[in-house]
């Protein structure tokens, strides 16, 4: 349902009314609400990442220069109800870390990764040998939580810090961005942000 700020209350009532009317039509076999709980390591700002690296970006830079870490990917975005919940997020992130790509995540992607246990230091066992070694040496997970969906600018702050430390432009770094389950207009703005 399209949002119009001039009619916000009426649209909200329509959304809630539609949800209530459709509740009885839910197919129980297609509803998956997990009861599991998991711990996770969260709250990585640029400063927290530098602190986890021992006060300098050098360990990360050295790992990238040596090829132990092939790059860094910012993976973000909402869940898409057209696919199984979290499947796109977790599948992509697992493939990235397996291929020695450090992942920084925000929003729903971060929650999906946390639920899958990828934001624990022990998740380094699922990473490729290079990334695994870096994570184990530093005691950090291969997926770093950087905040809610509106905190994607934190990812740019880390990119800028790495670029400044190397004396290059951000576009020269081995970086990638993805929103594997995008479903709203804000993903278009995130995509434009990543490309620019």
**In the chain, where are the structural domains located?**
46-195
- Classify domain 46-195 at the CATH topology level: Rossmann fold (3.40.50)
Per DSSP (E only), the strands in 34-193 are: 71-75, 101-105, 143-145, 175-178
Angle, helices 107-115 vs 87-98, to 10°: value is: 70
**Res 65 pLDDT > 80:** yes
What band does 148 get if pLDDT is binned at 50, 70 and 90?
Answer: confident
Cα(125)–Cα(152) distance, integer angstroms = 27
Cα(163)–Cα(146) distance, integer angstroms = 18
Mean pLDDT of the chain: 88
- pLDDT the model gives residue 185: 76
Average the pLDDT over 27-55 and give the result: 81
Output the six-digit token pair for 86: 């979290």
């Amino acid at each position: 349902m399209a949002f119009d700020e001039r009619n916000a209350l009426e649209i909200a009532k329509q959304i809630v009314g539609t949800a209530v009317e459709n509740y009885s039509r839910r197919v129980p076999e297609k509803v998956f609400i997990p009861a599991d709980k998991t711990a996770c390591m969260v709250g990585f700002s640029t400063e927290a990442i530098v602190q986890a690296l021992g006060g300098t970006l050098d360990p990360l830079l050295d790992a990238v220069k040596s090829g132990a870490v092939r790059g860094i990917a910012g993976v973000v975005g909402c869940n898409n109800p057209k696919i199984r919940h979290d499947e796109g997020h977790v599948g992509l992130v697992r493939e990235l870390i397996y291929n020695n790509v450090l992942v920084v995540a925000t929003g729903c992607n971060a929650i999906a990764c946390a639920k899958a246990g990828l934001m624990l230091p022990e998740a380094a066992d699922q990473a490729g040998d290079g990334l695994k070694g870096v994570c184990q040496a530093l005691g950090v997970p291969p997926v770093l939580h950087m905040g809610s969906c509106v905190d994607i600018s934190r990812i740019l702050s880390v990119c800028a810090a790495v670029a400044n430390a190397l004396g290059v432009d951000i576009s020269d770094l081995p970086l990638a961005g993805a929103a594997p389950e995008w479903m709203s207009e804000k993903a278009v703005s995130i995509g434009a942000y990543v490309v620019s």
